[in-house]
Amino acid sequence: MSRRSPPVPEAKIDAVLPPDGQGPAPTGQEARDAAEASRIVAFWMDEFLRIPGTNIRLGFDPLLGLVPVAGGLLSACISLVVVAEGVRLQLPATVLGRMGWNILINEILDSVPVVGDFLSVFFRSNSRNLALINRWKSGERKKVHRGSRIMLTGLMVLLVALLGAWFFFWISVFVWAWRRIVG
């Protein structure tokens, strides 16, 4: 028996953020349209197609990743619609950073030919970001904020460690070269 997805209503692009980027965020039906835009993006980019004989779903994201450079860039730009809803909802910077990190991981995966696109089927950055928004809207604000803060702190520690290793490597190369030259 085939399970069909419900029809996806069309969302107005201006409902995601005010057209001029100024003024109040949309309310009422316009706000519901904005939330619907994020659901539409997550559905079409991550899970609109089911691979026959499996429960694995994929969307346009891994398919766009097959197109070098332009596909990944287009995918990231489309993913920003979900982040725009996070901005509209005034999510904390840590949660928005986590959403951006999800998109970045997806783009890093997409940069690896074929294998990265396969992994992108399972990572689903848009669905992850939509889940963060839905958890935030359902009242799990402290959990989402704390989890995002912990993850971003861990990333900062990792980046500082990588920067330190990079710095140590180049200082070592410089000292080695200096000893070879001076003798």
* pLDDT tens, position by position, 67-123: 887 888 888 888 888 888 888 888 888 888 888 889 988 888 888 887 888 888 888
Is residue 168 very low, low, confident or very high in pLDDT (cuts 50, 70, 90)?
very high
* Mean pLDDT score, 12-24: 51
Percent of the chain with pLDDT over 90: 9
User: What does the DSSP 8-state code read for residue 59?
Assistant: -
Facing residues of 176 across strands?
A: none
Are 50 and 4 in contact, with CB atoms under 8 Å apart?
A: no
CA torsion, points 80, 82, 88, 90, in degrees to nearest 10? Answer: -100
